[in-house]
Amino acid sequence: MSELTLVDAVNHALAHEMARDPTVMLLGEDIGVNGGVFRATNGLQARFGRERVIDTPLAEATIAGAAVGMAAMGLKPIAEIQFTGFIYPTIDQMINHASRLRHRTCGRLTCPMVLRSPFGAGIHAPEHHSESPEALFAHIPGLRVVIPSSPARAYGLLLAAIRDPDPVVFLEPTRLYRLFRQDVADDGEALPLDVCFVSREGADATLVAWGAMMHETMAAAERLEQEGVDVEVIDVATLKPLDAETILRSVEKTGRCVIVHEAPRTAGFGAEIAAEIAERALYFLLAPIRRVTGYDVVVPLARLEYQYMPSVDRIVDAVHKVMEAS
């Protein structure tokens, strides 16, 4: 058991799977000699060699395409995209090839690849380093979309993603990379994909979040507890396929729901969750569903990004409103 940051946990998970499975390979820009822009792959090329930890050209579409080819031929490639602002050239490969390979070949071929990328705001980076495009990938049939919210979940979920026989988009919240440490056992134990985690049980309202927003959401829950409001907090973790049942059970219990994400509001993944609740648990609701999200603008630079991102105050205010409505 070691106290790890989230980026440390990613590194440990990659190293564990590379040592366990010789078909696991890494490729991406500056991931070898430099250990990645955030040092997520630090030391792995020295340990496993240049043939398994490959520095690529600055060509994201090529990185994704090469990973698809490797996966089709029996390898397990893990492709790193430096920032999600650079991930859009990969969408052609992910939509037209990675997500369709099993269907196209009637199951004769699969695509066991992971597309990793840091994402989200909060580190004072330029705007094209701070985006949250999870809804784009969640819309693609055949892709899993996984977002960890802590070092322990990053370790366990990444192991599961690497072992999955189908393509996984694994988005790592940049702001959480070194925000806090957590005890993580480097024991090779994977966490389950396709399930939500109930991070805090409660009876008065359900808070649903993922990734970095879990940090603010849990802080909001603690503040609300001091006010006598008992909220349940759900970490979605795997956005696609969505474990709607866990969310619905919580909403049926509490009757109120607030969904939190830092991506823009319009067509954000929170809208899908809200629609699921409206279709399947409407008559359990005691108040309208509320969303606390980013705004429909490009993420602003530097300190202004904190005006863009959902805050503890905004989450608490939304909970007050659903409590007052019933």
Active site residues: 129
Q: How many CA atoms lie within 13 A of 179 on its CB side?
A: 17
3-state secondary structure 76-120: EEEEECCCHHHCHHHHHHHHHCHHHHHHHCCCCCCCCCEEEEEEC
> What residue has token string 């792995």?
44
Q: 87, 130 in Cβ contact below 8 A? A: no
Task: At 9, list the tokens.
Answer: 């946990």
Choose among 285, 278, 236, 243: nearest CA to 261: 236
Q: 239, 134 in Cβ contact below 8 A? A: yes
Choose among 71, 75, 63, 69: nearest CA to 28: 63
